[in-house]
Amino acid sequence: MLASYKHRILIYTALCTVLWAVFASCKRESTVETKYTRLTNTWKLVKLATDDNGNNAIESSEIRPVKTGYYAEWRFNDDSSGSETTLVNNLQTVLPFNFRFTDRDTLYRWGVGYNTVIYKMTDITSITLQLQTYTNIGLARYYFEKL
């Protein structure tokens, strides 16, 4: 009877040791997702919006899909560099840029040959990005999807 009891304890101890080793070896995700880590990806421009009626807001009727023959892709890298690749009527242009956040929702973007553009990040998820800025024709919003 005592031998059977000791045998059960040994089996139970061995089983607990194996389970502990399995659970301890499971990899845990240590990176917390932030707006910055979500941004560092490649994004395709899918819609544009302009404040056509000048009321300082974007209504659903002012949102349009990107025109046929126009393709724009923005790449944000971990080192605060990036590139904008556009393809218009089979003519490709690649513009490098740098970027930084000044607070949780403001994005500064600058590059060679053009001024700094300040965007408000109006929305970002794991698959979509919306940036808004003021242009010489008024308020504009850009809608991206992650590639």
Task: Report residue 60: phi and psi, to 5°.
Answer: -60, -30
Give domain status of residue 19, yes or no: no
pLDDT of residue 34: 82
Give domain status of residue 74, yes or no: yes
Q: What total of structural domains would you count in the chain?
A: 1
Take residue 88 and report the two structure tokens written for it. Answer: 């218009």
DSSP-derived pairing of the beta strands 138-146 and 128-135: antiparallel
Give domain status of residue 27, yes or no: no
Rounded CA gap, 133 and 9, in Å?
A: 69
Give domain status of residue 3, yes or no: no
pLDDT of residue 96: 95
Give domain status of residue 116, yes or no: yes
Give domain status of residue 25, yes or no: no
Give domain status of residue 9, yes or no: no
Tens place of pLDDT per residue across the chain (147 aa): 555 656 666 666 655 565 555 555 555 555 677 888 899 999 999 999 999 999 999 999 999 999 999 999 999 999 999 999 999 989 999 999 999 988 779 999 999 777 899 999 999 999 999 999 999 889 999 999 999
CB-based burial of residue 109 (10 Å sphere; 0-12 exposed, 13-18 middle, 19+ buried)?
buried
CATH number for the domain that contains residue 92: 2.40.128.280
pLDDT of residue 10: 61
pLDDT of residue 9: 64
Domain residues for 134? 35-146
pTM (global) more than 0.85: no
pLDDT of residue 101: 85
Tell me the three-class secondary structure of the chain, residue by residue: CHHHHHHHHHHHHHHHHHHHHHHHHCCCCCCCCCHHHHHCCEEEEEEEEECCCCCCCCCHHHEEECCCCEEEEEEECCCCEEEEEEEECCEEEEEEEEEEECCCCEEEEEECCEEEEEEEEEEECCCEEEEEEEECCEEEEEEEEEC
Give domain status of residue 21, yes or no: no
